[in-house]
Amino acid sequence: MLTLRPKTTIYTSLHTIYLICFASYILKVFFDTINNFIIMNTLIVIYTVFYKQAYTIITSSMILQVVNLLKKNEIVCFPTDTVYALACSAQSEAAINKIYHIKNRPSNKPISLLMQDIKQVNMFSRLEEQNLKIIQHLPPGKVTFVLPIHNHHYLPKSFFKNTIGIRIPTHPITLAILHSIGTPIIATSVNTAGAHSVSKASNIPDAIKKNISIIVKDDTLVSGLESTVIDLTSYKILRQGIVSDQEIYNIFQSVL
């Protein structure tokens, strides 16, 4: 299992440059010469630019590794807006089965997908105008929508029959993975059936870790609250979550 930390990896590689900048600052304080001031600022500019470039390169490399593993039908783990996700290709029946096995999840309990935008959602469900308005009114990333399915050719029929659960995340790492792979991803919370979801990478159970090919660790933007699940075929709340029932009912009332 490979573990990646998109930010802390860079800190180590740039530590030497940081020390040089700090040393220049000390020289300025003690000697207060124009030359040292120029050197210090030049080094800080170089450090800042190099940091941003290194972050982009390392993050891109990390995303590429995750996407390559997804394409090989491996199980991966990464942070989302809500909790950490256990994920796999939406096209691989074997990989989806493995996730059910890892979580000890009942086979009759549906599993949802992450999609990058409304355009992609429309490829798998014909969005009626009122449903589109509801989706647009609710906070992105915080709600899973159950919608009627219309594209049965792409998704395994054994898992997706009449409806699909879809969430459009806002977490930058999750979105980068989705944009890079270009297809929906199966995603479910990192836990076994009945256990609490994981909002910190350090809390991922060992029993699950051993079945994951790669873990992306970054707790920064993980809220720790699961998404609210609403059924847009019956307009009912199936699971309470980060968005309140009252907010959803208010939107239903204004749109329907």
Written as tens digits, the pLDDT of the chain (256 aa) is 666 665 444 444 444 544 454 455 444 444 444 454 455 455 445 544 554 454 455 467 889 999 999 999 999 999 999 999 999 999 999 999 999 999 999 988 999 999 999 999 999 998 999 999 999 999 888 999 999 998 777 889 889 989 999 999 999 889 999 999 999 999 999 998 889 999 999 999 999 999 999 999 989 889 999 999 999 999 999 999 999 999 999 999 999 8
Residue 32 maps to a domain: no
Range of the domain at 98: 68-254
**CB proximity list for 100: less than 8 A, separation 6 or greater:** 107, 111
Residue 128 maps to a domain: yes
How far is Cα 68 from Cα 48, in angstroms, rounded to an integer? 30
Question: How many independent structural domains does the chain possess?
Answer: 1
CATH number of the domain enclosing 92: 3.90.870.10
Residue 28 maps to a domain: no
Residue 42 maps to a domain: no
How far is Cα 174 from Cα 86, in angstroms, rounded to an integer? 12
pLDDT at 4: 61
pTM metric for this prediction: 0.79
How far is Cα 178 from Cα 215, in angstroms, rounded to an integer? 16
Residue 26 maps to a domain: no
pLDDT at 6: 58
Q: Where are the alpha helices (DSSP H) in the chain?
A: 8-13, 15-31, 34-71, 93-103, 118-124, 129-137, 172-181, 206-209, 245-255
Residue 82 maps to a domain: yes
Do residues 55 and 5 make contact, with C-beta atoms less than 8 angstroms apart? no
Residue 46 maps to a domain: no
Residue 49 maps to a domain: no
